Amino acid sequence: MRAARPGGGLSGADAMLRAWLLLCAGLALPAGGEDDGGDGGACTYSFTVTGPGEAGCAEAGGALRAELAALAARLSLLESREAGAPPGPAQGPRGCGELRRAAARLEEDKRRLEREKEELRRRAESGARELARLREAGCGRRGDGPRRDGGPGRPRTVGYQELKSARMEVPAADLLEETARGHPGAGASGCGELVWVGEPVVFGQADSIAGKYGVWMKDPEPVLPFTRATTWRVDTVGTEVRQLFQYDDDEQFGKGYPAKVYILPRALESTGAVVYRGSLYFQQRHSRLLAKYNLREEAIAAEKEIPGAGYHGQYPYSWGGYTDIDLAVDESGLWVIYSTEKAKGAIVLSRLDPETLEIQRTWETNIRKQSVANAFIICGVLYTISSYAVPNATVNFSYDTATGTSQPLSIPFQNRYQYLSMVDYNPTERQLFAWDSFHMVAYPIRLAHA
Ligand code: CA
């Protein structure tokens, strides 16, 4: 069953455009006669793209203009109701001008959506062609194999990764995807050093301010009834963040209609939540308490305080947003990235027991948490991102828990929408999931042998 979208779902550009047009159409229905001619001093509105400065109000264009006019008429009605005045002749020219400007903004939004839709379509077509070519060439191994939970494989997102991988001109012998057959201890996913991050691919887009930033994820080790395709999302704008959206697959996620909405028993803070082995792990609002919320039982299964961890703006990433406590999952399990007074703001990371949330071991790095935009962990190595805002950022440091040493890096990382509020590695999808200014994106990556 589909739930309504309380507080703002997301959609891809295509779905957004459709929703926008539906909104226009819906609003037009009860508009009555308010959108007709300008007699009696009432305004009518014209939103002509080619002549925005025109003073005339009564021009009727194509279907789009009619919809816009209907919308504006409805807005006019609403405005007059809000002001306690009857619609129609009582409106002054001031309301007319304001609405004309509002409509111009709507028109601009629509043009922007159309551009994004076109760009998305172009990229999808090009990707599909390339994927078909690769399949013909005999690629497509990953994602087709058996899964840990025994469910059906879902090659779709992995397919894109293959695609990006094939475009990389790196000697095949150095690359894990090519050597998964024989890396000792690597298993099917393989472990190695991060050497490349590809371009972000948009999977979803928020359509309200509630989704300017947030966290989205897939469970790398899902537990039935959930699968690798199940996608999770939390919009974290606001002080009382309790809604968790569940989507059954990428398509549903892209359209922005969740299969289910959970109301968490505790409010959540930060964009550091993860879903792992059937549970949502998150930091509780205004505290250093971590919670494990079992998604099938819909109940808190464990809670634990991270001793000394800064919270609520004490040691956030440079992005801010109370990102003091950031959970992460890698091939080896569950981690928490934070800082303490003792560490003087340097990044501390602890391995957690996913059952009890007990800290198993802690490392203190020399990377100042507030100097980096975000962090993630791959194969026991912490990586940080240089900036949440500049388009051409880098993965700028790594810290290896196996050796206790850090090193500077300079792996290009693209902030396409220049407001990166969350980044997480998914060891099963082998992608970085990120939230960049209303956009839910994923980055393909490459790992290589040390
Ligand atoms: Ca993170």
For ligand 1, the distance from its centroid to the CA atom of residue 167, given in whole angstroms, is 27
For ligand 1, the distance from its centroid to the CA atom of residue 16, given in whole angstroms, is 28
Percent of the chain clearing pLDDT 90 (strictly above): 54
For ligand 1, the distance from its centroid to the CA atom of residue 114, given in whole angstroms, is 32
C-alpha–C-alpha distance, residues 244 and 233, integer Å: 6
| pLDDT greater than 90 at residue 318 | yes
Half-sphere exposure of 71 (CA within 13 A, CB side): 23
201-254 pLDDT, tens per residue? 999 999 888 888 899 999 999 999 999 999 999 999 888 999 999 999 999 999
For ligand 1, the distance from its centroid to the CA atom of residue 315, given in whole angstroms, is 14
For ligand 1, the distance from its centroid to the CA atom of residue 199, given in whole angstroms, is 18
**Do residues 49 and 103 touch, judged by C-beta distance below 8 A?**
no
For ligand 1, the distance from its centroid to the CA atom of residue 50, given in whole angstroms, is 45
255-277 pLDDT, tens per residue? 999 999 999 999 999 899 999 99
- Give the per-residue pLDDT at 27: 36
- Give the per-residue pLDDT at 346: 97
For ligand 1, the distance from its centroid to the CA atom of residue 272, given in whole angstroms, is 6
For ligand 1, the distance from its centroid to the CA atom of residue 45, given in whole angstroms, is 47
Which of 185-194, 330-339, 374-383 is the least confident region?
185-194
For ligand 1, the distance from its centroid to the CA atom of residue 160, given in whole angstroms, is 22
For ligand 1, the distance from its centroid to the CA atom of residue 308, given in whole angstroms, is 19
| pLDDT greater than 60 at residue 64 | no
The letter for the amino acid at 183 is: H
**Do residues 435 and 216 touch, judged by C-beta distance below 8 A?**
yes
Which CB contacts under 8 angstroms, 24+ apart, belong to 76-79? 76/34, 76/43, 76/45, 77/31, 77/32, 77/34
Burial 276-313 (b: 16+ CB within 10 A, else e): bbbbbbbbbbebbbbbbbebeeeebbbebebeebbbbe
| pLDDT greater than 50 at residue 146 | no
- Give the per-residue pLDDT at 384: 97
Burial (CB count <10 Å: 0-12, 13-18, 19+), residue 223: middle
Distance, C-alpha 35 to centroid of its chain: 39
For ligand 1, the distance from its centroid to the CA atom of residue 44, given in whole angstroms, is 50
Which pLDDT band, with edges at 50, 70 and 90, does 450 fall under?
A: low
For ligand 1, the distance from its centroid to the CA atom of residue 326, given in whole angstroms, is 5
Peptide bond between residue 225 and the one before it cis (omega within 30 degrees of 0): yes
| pLDDT greater than 50 at residue 86 | no
For ligand 1, the distance from its centroid to the CA atom of residue 117, given in whole angstroms, is 29
pTM: 0.61
The three-class DSSP label of residue 283 is strand
Other CB atoms within 10 Å distance of the CB of residue 183 = 15
For ligand 1, the distance from its centroid to the CA atom of residue 415, given in whole angstroms, is 15
**Do residues 367 and 406 touch, judged by C-beta distance below 8 A?**
yes
For ligand 1, the distance from its centroid to the CA atom of residue 303, given in whole angstroms, is 20
For ligand 1, the distance from its centroid to the CA atom of residue 213, given in whole angstroms, is 13
| pLDDT greater than 70 at residue 286 | yes
Q: Compute CA distances 196 → 257, 406, 412, whole Å.
A: 33, 18, 7
For ligand 1, the distance from its centroid to the CA atom of residue 419, given in whole angstroms, is 14
Mean pLDDT, the chain, rounded, equals 72
Which two structure tokens, joined as six digits, stand for 234? 């939390």
For ligand 1, the distance from its centroid to the CA atom of residue 88, given in whole angstroms, is 53
Other CB atoms within 10 Å distance of the CB of residue 73 = 24
- Give the per-residue pLDDT at 449: 73
Which of 144-153, 300-309, 397-406 is the least confident region?
144-153
For ligand 1, the distance from its centroid to the CA atom of residue 191, given in whole angstroms, is 19
For ligand 1, the distance from its centroid to the CA atom of residue 370, given in whole angstroms, is 13
| pLDDT greater than 80 at residue 314 | yes
100-128 pLDDT, tens per residue? 766 666 666 566 556 555 545 544 544 44
- 105 contacts: CB under 8 Å, gap ≥ 6: none
Average pLDDT, integer, range 161-174: 32
- Give the per-residue pLDDT at 207: 86
C-alpha–C-alpha distance, residues 105 and 26, integer Å: 19
- 95 contacts: CB under 8 Å, gap ≥ 6: 43, 76, 79, 80
Which of 91-100, 218-227, 373-382 is the least confident region?
91-100
For ligand 1, the distance from its centroid to the CA atom of residue 348, given in whole angstroms, is 13
C-alpha–C-alpha distance, residues 20 and 4, integer Å: 16
339-355 pLDDT, tens per residue? 999 999 999 999 999 99
- Give the per-residue pLDDT at 105: 65
- Give the per-residue pLDDT at 431: 96
For ligand 1, the distance from its centroid to the CA atom of residue 422, given in whole angstroms, is 6
170-209 pLDDT, tens per residue? 333 344 443 333 333 334 458 999 999 999 999 999 988 8
Protein residues with C-beta less than 5 angstroms from the ion ligand 1: 326, 374, 423-424
Distance, C-alpha 327 to centroid of its chain: 16
For ligand 1, the distance from its centroid to the CA atom of residue 71, given in whole angstroms, is 41
For ligand 1, the distance from its centroid to the CA atom of residue 329, given in whole angstroms, is 9
For ligand 1, the distance from its centroid to the CA atom of residue 424, given in whole angstroms, is 5
C-alpha–C-alpha distance, residues 396 and 376, integer Å: 12
